[in-house]
Amino acid sequence: MSQPPNPYGPGQGGGYGPPSGNPHQGGRPGYGPGGQGPAQGGRPGYGPPQPAQGGRPPQRQGQGGPGPAQGQGGYGPAQGGYGAGQGAQGGYGPGQAPPPRPPARPAGPHPAEDLALAAPWQRAKARMIDAGLTWVAGFAVLFPIVLGAIGAPSKEDSGSGWSTPVLWTTFFVMAVIPFLYEAIQLAVWGRTLGKRWIGLRVVLADPAGEPLPITTAVWRSAINNLGYQLGIFFFLLLGVKVWTPFLVLDFVVVAGILAAYLWAIWDRPLFQAIHDRYAGTVVVDDLAE
């Protein structure tokens, strides 16, 4: 019996199996990358065009190979990233300016200069009145209560006559009570009893003359009382409990506190003490014509 003609053309061997040749080119010819093109007598292929013999695969127009210069290129410069050449999404490139800063306060006289600022000697009088009221009341009322509860310390018991309860009571009378006394009155009325007696009031420097917010009143009072007194009691505690020569440093702290108050004498143009400068406040004279 004669065999039917080979549908795959001459030279392919008989049967319907895969064509002889490269064993890695399986499947029917003409349907995959390993199939035969029309030039070999097979059916037209359905895959990508096959390379010509001895050459590179043909490329359609617009279909690039690997590399950024082809039509379909990858992630090269044409797509742009997050570099200096990017527009609104990137940083501040060579051709892009940063956003403008908010305008600063115009140069010239401070707006609080037009207020009737209190003289340093008036402020000193008001401070002495307030300190006398708080310290006298604290030592006259609180100290007897503490000493009655714990008993008067003896030098034999504590080594110096300063027991721990006495130290903390002294700090409470000289720092905590004045802080509460001043913070509450400044937050409510803008003045303490001493300033009311002299005719003074504490206001904001900018906006000039505005009443103090509660936070500013508390902050100014904390600097003026707790902040100034912490150094004194820190070295007092070290001198009493650790080493007596530490007490010498208390004189340095007291000198610094006096300088902070006296700063208002040479401060221009607002006559601010150190705590005023940190809090942004000025003291005005309500009785000035």
**pLDDT tens, 170-194?**
999 999 999 999 999 999 999 999 9
Look at residues 74, 92, 72, 73 and name the one whose alpha carbon lies nearest to residue 82: 92
Q: What pTM was estimated for this model as a whole?
A: 0.63
> How many CB atoms are closer than 10 A to CB 233?
17
| Contact between 205 and 280 (Cβ < 8 Å) | yes
User: How many other C-beta atoms can be found within 10 angstroms of the C-beta atom of residue 90?
Assistant: 14
* Greater model confidence, 40 or 129: 129
Q: What does each C-alpha distance from 263 to 29, 72, 258 come to in angstroms? A: 100, 74, 8
Residue-wise pLDDT for 190-208, tens only, equals: 999 999 999 999 999 999 9
Which of residues 29 and 117 earns the better pLDDT score?
A: 117
Q: Half-sphere exposure of residue 33, counting CA atoms within 13 Å on the CB side? A: 3
